[in-house]
């Protein structure tokens, strides 16, 4: 637990100044969980009342299409928060699932515990303000990318911006995220292999 | 000024509880501006150090494609905050422009003034935490929509979710936002006119 809490504390300090003493109070509000590769953190249709700070590992968030295939809409790695945030905010049924791509250690907090935590350390609102502003800002850039780039350009943009992902994420998930068939992704990769 | 500040205060109270007395301190931190239809609030390439609360009116956020045409990526109406938030957060050059679609009254705050405001009323971080969490949550849903729906379905989904927009937003901007040509949008509308 100590190491993962320290990772969260370091992330908070990097983004928003809060006294070390106060951050010492964080631990009991969180649950430390380890998910094995392919284990599910959140299931579409179940009530979503938790959000997850990734201390180690990698997850993807997806929904199931009418034809039964999974569509990945995003990934999360170390120092990211992940959840179905609409469902989390409303305490509603999740419209997405989240699954570990590799062994993943998270700090998990429920809506109720978060309410208590923010009562105790209201300064954390300053941290979350900036975390979500940045997440939303990244979405604005991603919409631009989606309008602007061809499928092949999307692949290059992604590999340029997130080289670490290219190593960690299985090809079929990357293809899903980019809106490709796995075959199309494989063709592009062959074309540009050194 | 009084009416527009009251609109912001009402919005804050709806989202996050802050004492009325404290909210009485808001006014001097904001600049009240009125933009005429087609006037520009933010220009791509200029340094972005302001964000805007829409008290009345409607704006769109867009960038200019290599071929010179404008691509609208989003709209904002009453009670929404709009800016290029990546540029705002970093004090960097904007990668988007924002323009009034109709006469628009905003409350504008700069990064510096916001810092002072949040020092004075740190509770506002709780408000912005929830505002941006919701904006990010809406992005997650929009990514799902973009993966899931055909162009024709996108149109119906948008008109069902945001009927007010259909009346207020010019057709060519709606077409741009949905990734249509204006001709294609006109075809769809004709097909479904009662």
Tokens of A190: 């062959």
CATH class of A2-121: mainly beta
- Pick the more confident residue, B52 or A168: B52
Q: How far is CA A51 from CA A29, A87, B70, in A?
A: 12, 10, 37
Q: Please, which residues 28-87 of chain B have a Cβ atom closer than 8 Å to chain A?
A: 61, 63, 65, 71, 73-74, 84-86
Q: Which residue of chain A is at minimal alpha-carbon distance from B133?
A: A132
Asked if residue A194 has pLDDT above 70, the reply is: no
Spell out the domain ranges in chain A. Answer: 2-121
Across B119-145, average pLDDT:
97
pLDDT tens profile B160-186: 988 888 889 998 999 999 988 888 888
Tokens of B60: 């769109």
The reported pTM is 0.96
Residues of chain A with C-beta less than 8 angstroms from the C-beta of B137? 84-86, 88-89
**Is A1 near chain B, with CB under 8 Å?**
no
| Per-residue pLDDT band at B37 (split at 50, 70, 90) | very high
| Per-residue pLDDT band at B54 (split at 50, 70, 90) | very high
Nearest Cα to Cα of residue A53 among A39, A73, A36, A33: A33
- How far apart CA A85 and CA B135 sit, in angstroms, is 10
Which H or E run contains A75? strand A70-77
Percent of chain B with pLDDT over 70: 99
- How far apart CA A108 and CA B193 sit, in angstroms, is 49
**Is B105 near chain A, with CB under 8 Å?**
no
| Per-residue pLDDT band at A1 (split at 50, 70, 90) | confident
Across A1-5, average pLDDT:
90
Nearest Cα to Cα of residue B57 among B155, B134, B165: B165
Across A34-39, average pLDDT:
98
How many CB pairs below 8 Å do chains A and B form together?
117
Q: Which residue of chain B is at minimal alpha-carbon distance from A64?
A: B148
Strand spans (E) along chain B: 31-35, 40-42, 50-56, 58-64, 70-77, 81-82, 97-100, 104-110
Which pairs with CB-CB distance under 8 Å and at least 24 residues apart come from A161-164?
A164/A77
pLDDT at A96: 98
Look-up of token digits 């929904």: A63
User: CA of A111, closest CA in chain B: separation in Å?
Assistant: 13
pLDDT at A190: 84
Look-up of token digits 């092949």: A152
Across B15-43, average pLDDT:
97
Residues of chain B with C-beta less than 8 angstroms from the C-beta of A60? none
Across A178-190, average pLDDT:
86
- How far apart CA A98 and CA A44 sit, in angstroms, is 8
Asked if residue A84 has pLDDT above 90, the reply is: yes
Across B52-58, average pLDDT:
97
- Best mutation target among A18, A66, A140 (most B Cβ atoms within 10 Å) is A140
pLDDT tens profile B92-107: 999 999 999 999 999 9
Q: Which residue of chain A is at minimal alpha-carbon distance from B94?
A: A141
A140 → closest Cβ in B65, B85, B147? B85
**Is A144 near chain B, with CB under 8 Å?**
yes
Contact B134 A74 (CB under 8 A): no
pLDDT at B183: 87
Tokens of A163: 């080289």
Whole-complex ipTM: 0.96
Whether the Cβ atoms of residue A42 and residue A78 lie closer than 8 Å to each other: no
Residues of chain B with C-beta less than 8 angstroms from the C-beta of A144? 63, 71, 73, 95-96
Contact A130 B95 (CB under 8 A): no
B89 → closest Cβ in A96, A134, A179? A134
Across B29-39, average pLDDT:
98
Where helices occur in chain A by DSSP H, the ranges are: 2-15, 20-23, 85-90, 111-120, 124-148, 151-161, 163-168, 171-178, 182-192
Q: In what order do the strands lie in the sheet with B104-110?
A: B31-35, B104-110, B50-56, B81-82
User: CA of A194, closest CA in chain B: separation in Å?
Assistant: 29
Q: How many C-beta neighbours within 10 Å does residue A81 have? A: 22
Contact A135 B132 (CB under 8 A): yes
Residues of chain B with C-beta less than 8 angstroms from the C-beta of A89? 130, 133-134, 137
Asked if residue B194 has pLDDT above 70, the reply is: no
Contact B74 A143 (CB under 8 A): yes
pLDDT tens profile A109-155: 999 999 999 999 999 999 999 999 999 999 999 999 999 998 889 98
Q: Is the dihedral of CA A52, B80, A140, A74 positive or negative?
A: positive
Residues of chain B with C-beta less than 8 angstroms from the C-beta of A88? 137
Tokens of B59: 């704006």
Asked if residue B115 has pLDDT above 90, the reply is: yes
């Amino acid at each position: 637990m100590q190491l993962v809490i320290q990772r969260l504390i370091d992330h908070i300090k990097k983004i928003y100044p809060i006294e070390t003493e106060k951050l010492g109070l964080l631990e009991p509000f969180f649950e430390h969980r380890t998910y094995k590769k392919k284990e599910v953190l959140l299931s579409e249709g179940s009530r979503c009342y938790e959000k997850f700070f990734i201390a180690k590992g990698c997850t993807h968030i997806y929904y199931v299409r009418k034809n039964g295939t999974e569509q990945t809409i995003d990934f999360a790695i170390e120092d990211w928060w992940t959840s179905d945030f609409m469902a989390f905010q409303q305490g509603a049924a999740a419209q997405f699932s989240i699954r570990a791509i590799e062994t993943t250690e998270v700090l998990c907090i429920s809506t109720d515990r978060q309410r208590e935590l923010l009562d105790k350390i209201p300064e954390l609102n300053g941290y979350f303000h900036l975390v979500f502003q940045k997440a939303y800002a990244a979405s604005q850039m991603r919409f631009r990318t989606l309008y602007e780039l061809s499928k092949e350009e999307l692949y290059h943009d992604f590999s340029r911006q997130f080289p670490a992902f290219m190593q960690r994420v299985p090809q079929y998930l990357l293809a899903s995220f980019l809106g490709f068939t796995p075959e199309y992704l494989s063709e592009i990769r062959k074309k540009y292999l050194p």
